Amino acid sequence: MLIHLRGSVDDEGHEQMEIEMARTTVHKVKLYNVATDEVVISRRMATNEGAIKMGGWTVEGTGVVVDLPDLEPGEEWTARDFDPAGYEGTQD
């Protein structure tokens, strides 16, 4: 994603700055709950690597491309109850 910031066209010192936002794909994650002997869907979304770190696996067809700042700092997953509704389309 590129963000274009521009000054006024009438401004002689007008500059254009492009910032590229790093992105990744996150998915819904299935986890096995030992206490209930059930498979549950995590309240977080995660990258493939994040799902493995969580002890789970990704749900096919649920991938969404998000900005890296949407992940928890230093982790491969989003905050609990992350809503990817602001992102267009899926990547799967």
Q: What is the DSSP string of 21-39?
A: PPEEEEEEEEEEETTTTEE
Please check whether residue 5 lies inside any domain of the structure.
no
* Structure confidence by residue, pLDDT tens digits, 67-87: 999 999 999 999 999 998 877
Q: Given a cut of 70, is residue 44 above it in pLDDT?
A: yes
Please check whether residue 48 lies inside any domain of the structure.
yes
Please check whether residue 41 lies inside any domain of the structure.
yes
Residue 47 neighbours by CB distance under 10 Å: 21
Please check whether residue 56 lies inside any domain of the structure.
yes
Provide the pLDDT for residue 13: 57
Residue bearing tokens 């009438």: 10
Which of 3-7, 8-12, 40-44 bottoms out in mean pLDDT, i.e. has the lowest?
3-7
Please check whether residue 90 lies inside any domain of the structure.
no
Please check whether residue 6 lies inside any domain of the structure.
no
Please check whether residue 9 lies inside any domain of the structure.
no
Count: domains in the chain: 1
Provide the pLDDT for residue 35: 94
> Which domain does 68 fall in, by range?
22-85
Please check whether residue 80 lies inside any domain of the structure.
yes
